[in-house]
Amino acid sequence: MGGKGAALLVAASILAAIPSCSADANTTALAKKPKASLLSPVDTDRRVAVFFPLQGNVYPSENFYVQMSFGKSQNLYSMDIDTGSDVPWLPCQVPPQAVYPQPSTDKLIRCDDPRCKAVHASTHQKHKCKSPTRCDFKVEYHDGSSAEGVLIADTVALRLTDRSVVYPSVAFGCMRAHSSNPNGMLGLGSGEISIVSQLSSQGVLGKVIGHCLYSIGGGVFFLGDAGLPRTGINWAPMTQSNYYSLGSASLFSGSRSLGSSRSVLLDSGTTYTFFALQPYNNFISALTNEVSKQPLTRVNDHTLPCCWKGPKPFKSMSDVKQYFEASLELRFADGGASMTIPPENYLIISNKGNACLGILNGTEAGLDRDVNLIGDISMLDRLVIYDNDKRQIGWGSCDGLRKSVTSLL
């Protein structure tokens, strides 16, 4: 989730009775990182898509990424898929040479180019450049990482589902990153500069993206809307927001209400899930109560703020699930669809064999206290479709997509 700092400050009403899960663990690493041969599931439609294999996982890598090839070189660049920010960029020295070959001056986008205006809008900067011949900008992510550089234009190679290969020219950042993550970022938000908006405005692909992030690691990412299952998808309207938002929702743990939040955002660029203040506090209380009846001990694991040790080190999620029964449910305001988050979508097993909670305190992390940010952990093994054309977000099983993709491998 990038660029747009979660700005609203917190009125910290101290709820003394609430067990806390803040700790010395490292929660600053809000995740973001594959290998790619392009796949082409069969589709009888005239619509097209591009399918990419994903690499990465929630834990321990904390990111999911595709590999793409830009410009004349056949080099593949690893890029984290980020539906929480707009700007696509590659690590690159500005100028001279670097990971990305030195952009020649004819690749630099000028300051007066509409794409420069768009990148400044998406990164909340004044539309101002140091020189008229280049478009300098900076992106900042809510995990504290940032990158700065210039906007350049070059081709990207895309193999479409109709088996043709196209080389549209796209604008992306050539950036110096301030982050421990060596990858570039594939900004997939709805802003004009995002890769999905650029490709759709050129008529290459529909303004649709989606992913299946597998719990065993890896997955599938796609641009465009061919080859997707037509049935078994829950759809909810996309609400007006800079982010992919499902609007307001009430949260339940079983039949117990945990409170509501003003918006629910889906962000593939964030590893864990962040809850709004009231649902987080209530969830921690409910969970602490549930766990106290089990042979589990709270431990300081340094992986995440809340970890528990079992009678034996946990080896699989089915070991963990016998102690954590509660499924969470998000009921959206329009009354239609609801989304469930079972234990495997909110817990991880650390390298020490403890069960750790992958739902974090959004308010403590500086997010708006009314926002639930749904990260990778809660989208695992689920097909998520962001359809900007029809302004709706869908989710369902990964099985259909997994079959059509593997049959072609």
- Residues in contact with ligand NAG by the rule CB under 6 A: 10, 12, 14-15, 18, 20-22, 26, 29, 180, 280-281, 284, 361, 363-364
**CB neighbour list of residue 68: distance below 8 Å, 6 or more residues apart:** 36, 52, 76, 77, 79, 156, 157, 186
82 among known catalytic residues: yes
Minimum separation from the CB atom of position 330 to ligand NAG (A): 19
Minimum separation from the CB atom of position 10 to ligand NAG (A): 5
Query: Between residues 23 and 337, which has the closer beta carbon with respect to ligand NAG?
Result: 23
What is Dmax (Cα atoms) for the chain? 66
Q: How many CB atoms lie within 10 A of CB 372?
A: 28
Rounded to a whole number of angstroms, the CA Rg of the chain reads: 21
Minimum separation from the CB atom of position 378 to ligand NAG (A): 18
Query: Between residues 63 and 345, which has the closer beta carbon with respect to ligand NAG?
Result: 63
**CB neighbour list of residue 184: distance below 8 Å, 6 or more residues apart:** 77, 78, 79, 80, 88, 89, 90, 91, 175
Query: Between residues 111 and 185, which has the closer beta carbon with respect to ligand NAG?
Result: 185
Minimum separation from the CB atom of position 25 to ligand NAG (A): 7
Query: Between residues 20 and 338, which has the closer beta carbon with respect to ligand NAG?
Result: 20
Minimum separation from the CB atom of position 151 to ligand NAG (A): 29
Q: How many CB atoms lie within 10 A of CB 243?
A: 21
Following DSSP, what letter does each residue of 91-127 receive, concatenated? Answer: E--SSS-SSSPPPPGGGBPPTTSHHHHHHHHHTT--S
Query: Between residues 9 and 42, which has the closer beta carbon with respect to ligand NAG?
Result: 9
Residue of 267, 301, 368, 376 with catalytic role: 267
Q: Are the beta carbons of 375 and 271 closer than 8 angstroms?
A: yes
Query: Between residues 17 and 409, which has the closer beta carbon with respect to ligand NAG?
Result: 17
Query: Between residues 12 and 165, which has the closer beta carbon with respect to ligand NAG?
Result: 12
Q: Where does residue 373 rank: exposed (0-12), middle (13-18), buried (19+ CB within 10 A)? A: buried
Distance CA 408, CA 337 (A): 32
Residue of 82, 136, 143, 225 with catalytic role: 82
Minimum separation from the CB atom of position 63 to ligand NAG (A): 12
- Helices (H), strands (E): how many in the chain? 5, 27
| Eight-class DSSP state of 334 | T
Cis check for the bond before 53: say yes or no (omega within 30 of 0): no
80 among known catalytic residues: no
Distance CA 145, CA 5 (A): 11
Question: Residue with structure tokens 């290998």?
Answer: 35
Q: Which residues are catalytic?
A: 82, 267
